[in-house]
């Protein structure tokens, strides 16, 4: 019998490409597994940024309502099991291996990508655990993503920005069109921002989906003490601030509430329930703050829109004496754009080598970022070495920000022993 590690190694090798967008292969295996129709409600969450936080808020709110939830997210930071959760708890190795056995038996000669295995395993675990509501995070794009096998009762699009251009298109209209592929005719399409490409609104109109749009159909106001109010189908006053840091989390929390209203559950949201759920929500690596004489902030921030949000969050906090940036950025990401967004916030840069097929050496990264950050960045052999270097250089009152990818944050969390 294979171990979980051996299963994951196998899944990395079955399909010749790590990313191969399309539903034909995975749908064939899902049909063999009798997974095309599900007996629970589904909320699918897509977007360039903000989808992970929105999923976390949704899962916490649904569980606060007393519902048995399944949450599927990707990628993971420390353990594969993080990707599949039931009632907030990671799926066990035994559950995952049982799911993989079934997938392997059902796929026959059909090849699957690593993410397609992930998606099918999540659906099998959710079925076995008899969940009531699933929250599915889109992996890449939307229309051709494996999560789009399942018709969402409510689809959420948190944001649209420039990322994954090799797969989704070279402009925002093309990217928006791909991400809008998760919407369904006659069902709610919740938008986390009014600032969306026209292609998103065109897709909603063509389908006859029911648009629920931030700053038009729902809104929120934040008071000086951080408490806030929500106005949508219902109004909720004096809500506790989200536990996730940064002003953007009020938008993500409001989007989650709007999605739950659109789902039309018999259970009733109430201010105290919302506050308790938001205060318990956690999501490592999304503006995760580690206080101390030297403040550490960990944020995935792997594209230019996310880097701009990170810069905004840093500006909202107290000013540090010096800010050190520890980063590694994958070869297919816009390193120069990320550098431009964060250069005004950073005093000293520490560039890290990332291994793997999409990885980049510190020297290559220095060349890609030379325009916005200059030529004096320090280069190190790994994220761990970068964190160690920052700790050695930082003094009380300084700040260390670690960002650039899930690989970077996972390595940093292990090094920090969190």
* Pairwise CA distance, residues 409 & 403, whole Å: 7
Q: What is the pLDDT of residues 335-386, one digit of tens each?
A: 999 999 999 999 999 999 999 888 999 999 999 999 999 888 999 999 999 9
Q: Topology of domain 4-280, per CATH?
A: 3.40.1190
Mean pLDDT across 388-396? 97
The model's pLDDT over 324-336, given as tens digits with 9 standing for 90+, comes to 999 999 998 999 9
Per-residue confidence band for 85, with pLDDT thresholds at 50, 70 and 90: very high
Closest to 69 in 3D by CA, of 228, 263, 251, 249: 263
Look at residue 358 in the predicted model and tell me its pLDDT. 85
- Res 163: pLDDT: 79
pLDDT-above-90 percentage for the chain: 90
CA atoms of 408 and 412, how far apart (whole Å) = 6
d(CA 349, CA 324) in angstroms, rounded, equals: 6
In sequence order, what are the residues at sequence separation of 6 or more whose Cβ sits closer than 8 angstroms to the Cβ of residue 100? 2, 7, 11, 117, 121
pTM: 0.94
CA 385 to chain centre: 26
pLDDT in the model for residue 230 = 98
Domain with CATH 3.40.1190.10 in the chain: 4-280
User: What residue ranges in 271-329 does DSSP mark as E strands?
Assistant: 288-290, 295-299, 323-327
* In the predicted structure, residue 28 carries a pLDDT above the cut 90: yes
What mean pLDDT comes out for the span 204-211? Answer: 97
Looking at the chain, which residues constitute the CATH 3.90.190.20 domain(s)?
Answer: 288-416
Q: How far apart are CA 205 and CA 189, in angstroms?
A: 11
Mean pLDDT within 68-81: 96
Instruction: Answer yes or no: are the C-beta atoms of 398 and 294 closer than 8 Å.
Output: yes
Q: Could you give the CA distance from residue 216 to residue 218 in angstroms, rounded to a whole number?
A: 6
Superfamily grouping for domain 288-416: Mur ligase, C-terminal domain (3.90.190.20)
pLDDT at position 119: 98
Average pLDDT over residues 65-73: 98
Distances (CA, A) of 198 to 48, 87, 94, 320: 16, 37, 46, 40
Q: How far is CA 134 from CA 85, 319, 325, 409, in A?
A: 10, 41, 37, 26
């Amino acid at each position: 019998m294979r171990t979980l590690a051996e299963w994951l190694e196998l899944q990395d090798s079955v399909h010749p490409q790590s990313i191969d967008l399309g539903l034909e292969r995975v749908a064939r295996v899902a049909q063999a597994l009798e997974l095309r129709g599900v007996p629970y409600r589904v909320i699918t969450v897509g977007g360039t940024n903000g989808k992970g936080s929105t999923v976390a808020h949704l899962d916490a709110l649904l569980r606060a309502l007393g519902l048995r939830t399944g949450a599927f997210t990707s990628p993971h930071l420390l353990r594969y099991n993080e990707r599949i959760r039931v009632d907030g708890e990671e799926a066990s190795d035994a559950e995952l291996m049982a799911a993989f056995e079934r997938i392997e038996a059902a796929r026959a000669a059909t090849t699957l990508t690593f993410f397609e295995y992930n998606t099918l395993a999540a659906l099998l675990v959710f079925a076995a655990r008899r969940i009531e509501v699933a929250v599915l995070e889109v992996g890449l794009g939307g229309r051709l993503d494996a999560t789009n096998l399942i018709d969402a009762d409510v689809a959420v699009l948190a944001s649209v920005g420039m990322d994954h251009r090799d797969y989704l298109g070279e402009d925002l209209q093309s990217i928006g069109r791909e991400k809008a592929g998760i919407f369904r005719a006659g069902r709610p399409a919740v938008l986390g921002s009014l600032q969306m490409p026209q292609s998103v609104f065109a897709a909603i109109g063509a389908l006859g989906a029911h648009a629920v749009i931030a700053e038009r159909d729902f809104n929120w106001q934040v008071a000086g003490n951080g408490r806030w109010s929500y106005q949508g189908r219902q109004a909720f006053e004096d809500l506790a601030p989200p536990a996730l840091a940064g002003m953007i989390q009020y938008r993500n929390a409001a989007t989650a509430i709007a999605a739950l209203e659109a789902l039309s559950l018999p259970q009733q949201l109430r201010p105290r329930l919302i506050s308790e759920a938001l205060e318990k929500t956690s999501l490592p690596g999304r503006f995760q703050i580690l206080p101390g004489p030297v403040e550490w902030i960990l944020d995935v921030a792997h594209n230019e829109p996310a880097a701009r949000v990170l810069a905004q969050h840093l500006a909202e906090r107290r000013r540090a004496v010096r800010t050190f940036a520890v980063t590694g950025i994958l070869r297919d990401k816009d390193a120069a754009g990320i550098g431009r967004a964060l250069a005004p916030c950073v005093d000293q840069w520490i560039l890290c080598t990332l291994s793997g097929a999409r990885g980049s050496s510190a020297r290559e990264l220095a060349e890609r970022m030379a325009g916005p950050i200059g030529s004096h960045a320090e280069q190190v052999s790994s994220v761990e070495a970068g964190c160690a270097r920052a700790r050695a250089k930082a003094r009380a009152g300084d700040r260390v920000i670690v960002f650039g990818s899930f690989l970077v944050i996972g390595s940093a969390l292990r090094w920090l022993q969190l």
